[in-house]
């Protein structure tokens, strides 16, 4: 079922009027970069706020926000300013020495999460690996699980990163095929099924790792009360509740953290992406002293984790989220965006869903990537996932007028879809 592009032109494949420089950039990328991604045919060179610009100067709405790493928008002046100031002083010291930025940064992070202690890392996957180590450490030292017997429960269709440990408990064939053998110690249960969690827990279970909303799976939102039941079960069974809020945290879903919708507090937060404001890889695991205080010198670490440049950026990124009330704007604009997407009422749409500014448009046929190419042609960047779903997650600074303009592009693209007999 081909899709007819905007203005009647075919929108599948490379854009024919792409400038020569962009074609050369793409050709070089494809020559020297392993093909772990299949990006849309656009070369981005600049970003500001909710917009990005290609090599020819064309402006696009960024409706991916680097998988929610840009909640504060591109090049937020307060975050960029903090980075520049710190770059003029010192960027890296290693944790072999103290620096004057990490403590204030982690104190701020603990304050917004309501926790006592944090382990700073770099990528989201590193933070998840840290959380896995943390849950196992607690299981052996506190719960008394026999050595090498600790088990962590995860859910189907999860996405927690790309390390060999993490893909070993993924249910996505693309993520795990040919990367085995899988590491033992993980049990997979259905998502949004509290009874399955309760049934799966054994005396050797040390933790439950879950995304409050499954982003990569297509913005799958659990039923109200699911996380409330998870919190109760984990408490009763003496299991750590670990919330992976790498993608859903810092206002993305209309609350400071996604777990706030159910009014629960996990034992551990896994955080990343927007913690950096899009400037630098920053992640962390945050919890209380009775858990994270179990680590001792030499049992975990990171050359770059907690470095002064990352800490200065992270502190500024948190300030922007809090002081500019991005969670509140996400809730308001997300409600409006959801209403607009529902109003499309197209026969090829199976479902529209979302919470805050994390939304999805699911089709009845595998046309999601082709639809994203139509959006690209119209001046909007979005990401397909699993063939059927397009995810929309703009920067949380987006205004109503900008959202209205972006939706017009989406509506035009929907009207351009035509089935051929």
Active-site residue list: 159, 244, 273
Q: Are 107 and 286 within 8 A, CB to CB? A: no
**In contact, 219 and 382? CB cutoff 8 Å:** no
- Write out 205-258 in H/E/C secondary structure: EEEEEECCCECCCCCECCCCCHHHHHHHHHHHHCCEEEEECCCCCCCCCCCCCH
Residue with tokens 């008394």: 144
Nearest to 87 by CA among 220, 299, 279, 256: 279
Q: CA 156 to CA 48: how far, in whole Å?
A: 37
67 three-state secondary structure: helix
Is the bond leading into 181 cis (omega within 30 degrees of zero)?
yes
Determine the Cα–Cα distance for residues 33 and 28; give it in Å rounded to an integer: 8
- Greatest distance between any 2 Cα atoms in the chain: 68
Question: If you write DSSP's letter for every residue of 105-148 in order, what string do you get?
Answer: HHHHHHHHHT-SEEEEESSHHHHHHHHHHHHHHHIIIII-PPTT
CA angle 21, 22, 24 (to 5 degrees): 65
Distances (CA, A) of 164 to 133, 181, 272, 305: 14, 9, 19, 21
d(CA 226, CA 340): 27
For residues 272 and 260, what is the distance between their CA atoms, to the nearest angstrom? 17
Torsions phi, psi for 82 (to 5 deg): -65, -40
Strands (E), 374-413: 380-381, 383-385, 389-392
Q: Which residues pair with residue 241 across a beta bridge?
A: 208
Bridge partners of 154, per DSSP, are 188
């Amino acid at each position: 079922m081909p899709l007819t592009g905007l203005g009647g032109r075919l929108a599948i494949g490379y854009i024919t009027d792409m400038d020569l420089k962009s074609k050369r950039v793409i050709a070089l990328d494809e020559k020297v970069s392993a093909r772990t991604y299949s990006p849309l045919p656009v070369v981005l060179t600049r970003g500001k706020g909710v917009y990005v610009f290609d090599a020819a100067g064309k402006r696009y709405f960024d409706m991916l926000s680097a998988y929610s790493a840009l909640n504060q928008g591109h090049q937020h002046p307060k975050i960029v300013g903090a980075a520049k100031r710190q770059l003029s002083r010192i960027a890296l010291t290693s944790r072999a020495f103290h620096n004057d930025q990490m403590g204030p940064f982690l104190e701020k992070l603990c304050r917004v999460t309501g926790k006592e202690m944090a382990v700073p890392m770099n990528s989201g996957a590193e933070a998840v690996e840290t959380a896995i180590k943390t849950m196992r450490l607690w299981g052996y030292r506190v719960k008394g699980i026999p050595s090498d017997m600790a088990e962590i429960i995860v859910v189907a269709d999860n996405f927690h990163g790309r390390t060999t440990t993490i893909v070993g408990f993924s249910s996505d064939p693309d993520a795990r095929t040919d990367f085995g053998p899988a590491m033992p110690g993980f049990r997979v249960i259905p998502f949004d099924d509290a009874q399955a969690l309760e049934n799966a827990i054994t005396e050797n279970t040390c933790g439950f790792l879950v995304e409050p909303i499954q982003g990569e799976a297509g913005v799958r939102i659990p039923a109200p009360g699911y996380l409330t039941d998870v919190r109760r079960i984990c408490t009763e069974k003496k299991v750590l509740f670990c919330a992976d809020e790498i993608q859903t945290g810092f206002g993305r879903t209309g609350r400071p953290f996604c777990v706030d919708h159910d009014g629960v507090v996990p034992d551990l937060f896994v955080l990343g992406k927007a913690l950096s404001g899009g400037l630098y890889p920053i992640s962390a695991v945050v919890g209380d002293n009775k858990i994270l205080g179990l680590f001792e010198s030499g049992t975990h670490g990171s050359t770059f984790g907690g470095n002064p440049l990352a800490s200065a950026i992270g502190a500024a990124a948190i300030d922007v989220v809090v002081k500019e009330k991005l969670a509140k704007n996400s809730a308001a604009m997300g409600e409006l965006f959801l209403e607009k997407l529902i109003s499309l009422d197209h026969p090829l749409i199976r479902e529209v869903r979302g919470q805050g500014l994390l939304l999805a448009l699911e089709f009845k046929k595998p046309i999601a990537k082709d639809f994203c190419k139509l959006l690209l042609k119209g001046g909007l960047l979005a990401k397909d996932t699993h063939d059927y779903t397009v995810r929309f997650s703009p920067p949380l600074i987006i205004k109503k007028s900008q959202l209205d303009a972006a939706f017009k592009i989406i509506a035009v693209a929907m009207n351009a879809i035509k089935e051929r007999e």
